[in-house]
Amino acid sequence: MCMRPYVQERARRDVVLHVFSAVCLLILWRCLPPDARFLLGWVGTILTFGALTLAVAWLLERFLPNPKLDPTGKAVLITDLWAVVCNAGVNLFLEFEWMSQRDVSWMFDVNVHGTVRVVRAFLPLLRRSRGRLVLVSSYAGKNAHPVR
């Protein structure tokens, strides 16, 4: 089993919240390792931030270079990573004054800090493999919400 069963089940059971654009992280390998294939079922699915956080944490822990891996495993990992696509965008469609500080912090954690964490984690691998980093902005940026 690639993850502890209760963690995997929790990630699957998380329900859709009203999120404008789901936070998506697609790490594209020519050959996805067998113990990560369950992630393919999540592509195109809107997940709660909790479920995605579990998936990203698992990926970072499992596949980023680590001194315990043998050099062969590292070489395969580095050469097979050819793209990382980040599409982050959550929003609460409320007047700014109605949002709590916790809501604003949550949006920054997902939209800004989450993207920065992913970029920092995978940039060394992308440089070595001459891969691509794609950051997709949200269409919501064109939809202004007027302050009354």
- List, for residues 17-68, the tens digit of each pLDDT value: 222 223 333 333 333 455 555 554 544 444 444 555 555 555 556 655 554 5
Q: Is 147 a domain residue?
A: no
What are the backbone angles phi and psi of residue 125, rounded to the nearest 5°?
-70, -40
pLDDT at 101: 92
Q: Is 110 a domain residue?
A: yes
Q: Is 79 a domain residue?
A: yes
Q: Is 22 a domain residue?
A: yes
Report the candidate in 47, 53, 116 with the shortest Cα–Cα distance to residue 86.
116
Per-residue confidence band for 136, with pLDDT thresholds at 50, 70 and 90: confident
State the total domains in the chain: 1
Mean pLDDT of the chain: 60
Q: Is 148 a domain residue?
A: no
- Name the residue range of residue 75's domain: 5-140
